[in-house]
Structure 1
Amino acid sequence: MTDPHDSSACHSSRCSIGRCRSCRRSLDPDLPDQLQLLFQLQGQAIDFLTEQRYTEAAALFEFYLKQTPGDVLARNNLGFCLMPPRPEMALHHLESIRLDTSDNPTITLINVSTALALLGRHGEALERAEYHWQRGPTEPQPGGAYLWRLKDDAIELIHAPDLRLSLAHLAHGLAQHLDLTDRVRRWRERAEALGATAT
C-alpha cells in the first residue's frame, strides 16, 4: 500500500491506499465518484491497519469490490489487509492480479512474496523475488509505501520509502531463513548497490 503522506502521485489511479495527503483530506471534485470513494477507503484502511483492525480494513475493499469487481488496486489492497489474519486468503486475492496489469507490479510482488513466506513457502517467495528482480525496473523505485515486514514468525506494518530496496531486503531475509549463503550475499550486494545495508 503506498504511503498516504507522499505527495508524488496525487489523484491518479496509481494512488494506492491514499498515497497523498490531499487524497486523504480533500478530494478533487473532478474525479469520478468511484475513484473518490476508493481514496477515502484507502485512508480509512491505513487507520484501521495501524490499530491492528485487519478485518475492518479488509471489509472496506470487499465492499468496494462488490461494486467494481475488476479493480486491480482494490484487489491488491484487500489482499494486503488480509495478510496478518488470513495469509492464505490474502495470497488468493494477490495471485488473481496479473503483474503485467498491476499499477505497481513491485508492490504486488512484495505482497505475494510476503504471503508465501507467512505460509511457510519461503523458497517459492525467494524465487518469485528473483524472477521479478531480473525482469522488473532496474532503478530505485521511490514513492513510499506501507508494507508488511517479516519479523520472526510475525509481520509488522512499516513505511518503506523505496520499493526496489524493500524487495531486496525481503529477499535477503528469505535467503537468510533458507540458509542460502550465496543468495544472502547476492541480495546484500543488491541492497548496497541501491544505497542501503541489508539487515
Structure 2
Amino acid sequence: MDDPFDARKVMFSDREYPLANRRTVSLITALRVALLREGVSTSAEAHDQATYLRQITHELTNRGMDGATLVRYGLGPELAAAVVGQAMPYWLPTLRVLPGPASEHDPDPEPAPPWPHPQTWEDVLGPLLEAENGLTPNLDVSQANIEQVVGAIMNAVYPWALSAPLDDLLVLKPPSIEQLQAARLEPRPETVVLEQYRWIINRFAETHLSDWSTTSLHHEHRWRSGNCPAPCPEALMNDREVIDHELNAEIARRAVNVESSREPAGGPTGLNRTMLAKLGMSALDLLRIGRTSEAAALFEFALHGSPDDAELLNNLGFCLIPDDPRNALNKLEEAARRNYEHGAINLYNRALCKMLLGDLKACLDMITAAWPLGEGKRASLWRPGPHGLKLRETVDTQHELARLAHRAASALGDENAAERWAGIIQLQP
C-alpha cells in the first residue's frame, strides 16, 4: 500500500535534484514553507534564499503557471501571516498585564529585540501595535486585543502583497508608509482569480484536505465533475491524487459545521488557518522564555478559530501545565480523543498532569499500559525537578516517559517498578 500523501515529505525527498527534475508539489511547497517561516532576514543567506525562490517561480512559469502571480495571489495568507509572526514579538513585550501573584514561570518581560528592518517595519507597523492594548488575565479582553492587532496588520499588509515587486515579497522587504497607503487604493483582482490561485497552493502544498479553503474544495469538486477548468495545465494536476470520498466527506463536514469553516470577510481565502499556525509558532517562542500565561492566551485565541484542532488543544494544555494542571489535563485528554498525531508526547503531558495533581499511581499505570511506544520523538517537554518544572528539549520522548515512570514508582515506594524502569532508562541511549 502506498504511503499517504505528504507535501513536505515530497519536498524533502526532492531537494537533491535540479529544479527542473522536481515535482510540482515539491516546488510549490518549498515556496510556501519559505515565505511563511523564513522570508524576513536581511542577511546574505536571505539573499541566497530569494535567488532560490525566484528560480522556483521561473521553473513554475516554464511549466505553464505564472510563478510571480502565484506568489502574489496564491500566497497572500502566508505573506500576511509572516508579517504578523514578525510583529507579534514586538507587540507582546509591551503587554499591559494586570497585577497578580509572582511566578517563577512568568519572569519580567524581556526588552523587545530590534526590528528586522530598522526604521522601516517599525515606522509602518509600530503605530498600529502601540495603539492596541495587550494580553490581560481577562481572557475575553485578551482575545479582542489579539484580534484587533492581527486584523490591523493584515488589512495593511495584504493589499501591498497583491502589487509589490516580487523581490520585495520574497524577503518581506517592508514598503514605505506612502507605498503601503497607495497599495490600499489599487484595484484588487477579481475574487474568482484569487480563489483559483489559492486552489493551486492548497492542491499542491497542503497535505490535509481539512487545511484547504472551502472555495478550493468546491473548485476541486467542480473540476472533477467536469464543470470548471483546472487552475493550471491539466497534466500537472496528476502530480497529486485527491481521493473522491475524502473530498466529499470534507465538503459535507464544512456544510454541516458552517461557523467553523467561514472565511474572514474581506481577507484572502485560507487566511484563518495560516494565521493560526503562525500564531502557534509565536506562542511556542513565548513559552521558551517562560511566559506561559501569554502563550496560553495565543493558543486560546487560535482555538476560537479552530476549536476542533487536536494540535492546538495539545499545545494549549502544554502551556497550562505549570499553572493549572487540572485544566491542562482536560485539554490534553480532548486532544487525545481527537487523535492528536504525536501520541507519546500527549501521553507524557497527561501523565505529568496526573503526577502534579498527586495521583502518582495513575501516572505510573498510564505509562506502563502504553509501553513500549515505538520510535521516540524530538519534543519540548516539562521535566519535574527539585525546584519545580523546567522546559527541556529532548530527542527521545520515550526516554522522558521512562524517567517519569521511574520518578512516580520511586515516590510510591514500589521498589520492583522503580528497579524495572531504572533498567529501561539505562538500556536507552
Q: Which of 59, 75, 83 lines up with 2:321 in the alignment?
A: 83
Structure 1: where are the runs of 5+ without partners? 1-8, 13-20
Q: Which has the larger radius of gyration?
A: 2
Correspondence for 1:6: none
Q: Is structure 2 residue 122 aligned with structure 1 residue 109?
A: no
Cα 1:132–1:37 shift into 2, 3 Å: farther
**Partner of 1:64: helix, strand, or coil?**
helix
| Amino acid paired to 1:163 | T
Correspondence for 1:141: 376
Cα 1:183–1:24 shift into 2, 3 Å: farther
Structure richer in strand, relative to its length: 1
How many residue pairs end up in the alignment? 175
Distance 1:55 1:99 in 2: 25
CA contact (8 A) 1:24 1:43 kept: no
The superposition leaves residues 146-182 of structure 1 with CA deviations (integer Å, 9 ceiling, x where unpaired) of 0000113621111011111111111111112212111
Correspondence for 1:56: 294
Q: 1:193: how far off? A: 2.4
Cα 1:10–1:46 shift into 2, 3 Å: farther
Q: Is structure 2 residue 259 aligned with structure 1 residue 25?
A: no
CA contact (8 A) 2:293 2:319 kept: yes
Distance 1:77 1:100 in 2: 13
**Partner of 1:176: helix, strand, or coil?**
helix
Correspondence for 1:182: 416
Cα 1:57–1:38 shift into 2, 3 Å: same
**Partner of 2:308: helix, strand, or coil?**
coil
CA contact (8 A) 2:311 2:335 kept: no
Q: Which of 359, 362, 365 lines up with 1:124 in the alignment?
A: 362
Cα 1:11–1:81 shift into 2, 3 Å: farther
TM-score (norm 2): 0.38
Cα 1:24–1:129 shift into 2, 3 Å: farther
CA contact (8 A) 2:317 2:332 kept: yes
Correspondence for 2:139: none
**Partner of 1:102: helix, strand, or coil?**
coil
CA contact (8 A) 2:317 2:327 kept: yes
Q: Give me the CA root mean square deviation.
A: 2.7
| Amino acid paired to 2:376 | Q
Correspondence for 2:391: 157
CA contact (8 A) 1:62 1:78 kept: yes
Q: Is structure 2 residue 191 aligned with structure 1 residue 191?
A: no
| Amino acid paired to 1:103 | E
CA contact (8 A) 2:308 2:338 kept: no
Distance 1:170 1:34 in 2: 37
Q: 1:83: how far off? A: 0.6
Report the identity percentage: 31
Distance 1:179 1:117 in 2: 14
Q: Which of 269, 281, 297 lines up with 1:43 in the alignment?
A: 281
Structure 2: where are the runs of 5+ without partners? 1-5, 10-32, 40-74, 79-200, 212-270
Correspondence for 1:173: 407
Q: Runs (4+) of structure 1 moved beyond 6 Å?
A: none
TM-score (norm 1): 0.77
